Amino acid sequence: MSAVADRLYRNRRIKNGIALVLSALSAAFGLFWLVWILWTTLLHGIAAMKPSLFTQMTPPPGADGGIANALFGSLLMSALAILIGTPIGIAAGTYLAEFAKKKAIGETIRFVNDILLSAPSIVLGLFVYTLVVRTTGHFSGFAGALALALIVLPVVVRTTDEMLQLVPSTMREAALSLGVPQWKVTVQVLYRSALPGIMTGVLLALARISGETAPLLFTALNNQYWTSDLTAPMASMPVVIFQYAMSPYESWQSLAWAGAFVVTLFVLLIGILSRAILLRTKVTHD
């Protein structure tokens, strides 16, 4: 009897051991690739780093140059996208959390927003193409910013909605019982309490659009020169990286790596920053 129990016990322990080793291995496997990719980007990126990168324009094939115009274009379009997407997103999130919490329409919008959040970005690019580029007849930085704003929007809507729902309802009731009108309660009490969370959402959205390539390919297109004219085609980091990495010229490829390094560094920094904001507020909230 005890021999049977012993065997059963041993078998279970062996099975458990195998499964746990497999799980640890798969964790190592997953991390291995990711570390490898980061390492490659770091290695090639640092090798291609030089000061002229940030002062010179994107060069013609074979020549030497920088990525200043692409950096500027990316910054300009991202800033514009955040400026367009954030207010609409915060307003829509407020609607979901404060006015349509348990309503069918609220659930529908939440669902649609989640779809928009994970929809392929290239489809959003095609949408802006038919909406803006086709009607105006030319590619433009503004169209690029609009496509990016469509990516910012659902991220901000979702975080605003979630963060406002986390604000304790006693706060709303206390403010309302003092006779404060609802819009003031929302703007001066709820937003203040939910601000770190909403900021995180905006930062996450910024991280996401700073590497987005697909929606810019046929909205902002590309531009070899420095331009701040939003009605003209505009260069951006991801599109330049794409074009240069696919090219056969060594100097272009090394510029692409430098660009990839800058973008990755930027995205990781924003990720760490937003995490820090969330962590700090979590402590103060309790």
Partner 1 sequence: MAASGSAITTSMTTAIVDANRRNTRDARADGAFRWLVTAAGMFVLVALAGVALSMLWGGREAFSTFGFNFLFSTEWDAVHHQFGALVPIYGTLVTALIAMLIAVPVSFGIALFLTEVAPNWLRGPVAAAIELLAGIPSIIYGMWGLFVFVPIMAAYVNPWLDSHLGHWPLLGPLFTGPPLGIGMLTAGIVLAIMVIPFVSSVMREVFLTVPTRLRESAYALGSTTTEVVWDIVLPYTRSAVIGGIFLGLGRALGETMAVTFVLGNAHRLSASLLEPGNSIAATIANEFTEADSDIYRSSLIALGFLLFVVTFIVLTVAKLMLRRLSRHEGAK
> Quick one: 13 or 282, whose CB is closer to partner 1?
13
Contact 184, 131 (CB under 8 A): no
**Judged by CB under 8 A, which stretch of 48-56, 66-74, 87-95, 188-196 contacts partner 1?**
87-95
Please report whether residue 157 would count as binding partner 1 according to CB under 8 A. yes
DSSP 55: T
**Judged by CB under 8 A, which stretch of 47-55, 58-66, 68-76, 179-187 contacts partner 1?**
179-187
Please report whether residue 118 would count as binding partner 1 according to CB under 8 A. yes
Please report whether residue 225 would count as binding partner 1 according to CB under 8 A. no
Q: State the amino acid at position 161 in one-letter form.
A: D
Distance in Å, CB of 72 to partner 1, minimum: 19
Q: How far apart, in Å, are the Cα atoms of 129 and each of 44, 82, 142, 274? A: 34, 19, 11, 32
Q: Which of 46, 79, 83, 91 binds partner 1 (CB under 8 A)?
A: 91
Q: Which of 7, 8, 10, 30 binds partner 1 (CB under 8 A)?
A: 30
Please report whether residue 99 would count as binding partner 1 according to CB under 8 A. yes
Count of CB atoms within 10 A of residue 106's CB? 17
Please report whether residue 83 would count as binding partner 1 according to CB under 8 A. no
Please report whether residue 55 would count as binding partner 1 according to CB under 8 A. no
DSSP 60: P
Please report whether residue 190 would count as binding partner 1 according to CB under 8 A. no
**Judged by CB under 8 A, which stretch of 56-64, 65-73, 74-82, 96-104 contacts partner 1?**
96-104
Distance in Å, CB of 125 to partner 1, minimum: 8
Buried b (16+ CB within 10 A) or exposed e, 205-227: bbbbbbebbbbbbbbbbbbeeeb
* Residues 251-280, interacting with partner 1 (CB under 8 A): 253, 256-257, 260, 263-264, 267-268, 271-272, 275
Could you tell me which residues come within 8 angstroms of residue 273 by beta carbon, excluding any fewer than 6 positions away? 203
* Residues 9-28, interacting with partner 1 (CB under 8 A): 12-13, 15-16, 19-20, 22-27
User: Can you tell me which residue has the tokens 């272009």?
Assistant: 252
DSSP 57: P
- Compute φ and ψ for 252, nearest 5 degrees: -65, -40
Q: How far apart, in Å, are the Cα atoms of 139 and each of 29, 142, 153, 284? A: 43, 9, 22, 47
